[in-house]
């Protein structure tokens, strides 16, 4: 979902980074598009919310809500960070100390 959103709503280059720090694994997906206004930065994680500046680019408004819900169920979170001078950065963090699934 994060990669598809960056492709659909952002602008190249799209950057993907994975880091591990303080017992958490972080996935960062960044783009160089218009970004999200401060007033909507938490709203984009609500089910069925569609960014007002997103135009008619498809989607149901469920993707980011599901990303956050899944991350939280695995001991992490999903959040939005802006980029300067423009663009978006979404970060998904997960508890890196969890045992692998069997």
Q: Say yes or no to pLDDT of 102 above 70.
A: no
pLDDT digits (tens, 9 = 90+) for 10-45: 999 999 999 998 889 999 999 999 998 888 888 999
The answer as to whether 69 is a domain residue is: yes
Assign 4 a pLDDT band (cuts: 50, 70, 90). very high
| Phi, psi angles (nearest 5°) of residue 34 | -75, -15
The answer as to whether 78 is a domain residue is: yes
Angle between helices 63-73 and 2-9 (to 10 degrees): 150
The answer as to whether 27 is a domain residue is: yes
Element (H, E) at 82: strand 77-82
The answer as to whether 52 is a domain residue is: yes
The CATH number of the domain where 36 resides is what? 3.30.565.10
The answer as to whether 100 is a domain residue is: no
Predicted pLDDT at 83 = 78
CB atoms within 10 A of CB 5: 23
The answer as to whether 65 is a domain residue is: yes
How far apart (Å, rounded) are the C-alpha atoms in residues 66 and 2? 11
The domain of 24 spans: 2-95
Q: How many domains does the chain have?
A: 1
pLDDT digits (tens, 9 = 90+) for 54-96: 556 566 788 999 999 999 999 999 999 987 788 999 999 999 8
């Amino acid at each position: 979902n994060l990669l598809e959103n960056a492709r659909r709503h952002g602008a190249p280059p799209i950057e993907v980074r994975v880091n591990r720090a303080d017992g958490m694994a972080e996935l960062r997906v960044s783009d160089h598009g218009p970004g999200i206004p401060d007033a909507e930065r938490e709203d984009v994680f609500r089910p069925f919310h569609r960014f007002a500046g997103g135009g008619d680019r498809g989607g149901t408004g469920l993707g980011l809500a599901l990303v956050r819900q899944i991350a939280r169920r695995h001991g992490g979170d999903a959040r939005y960070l802006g980029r300067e001078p423009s663009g978006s950065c979404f970060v998904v963090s997960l508890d890196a100390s969890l045992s692998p699934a069997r």
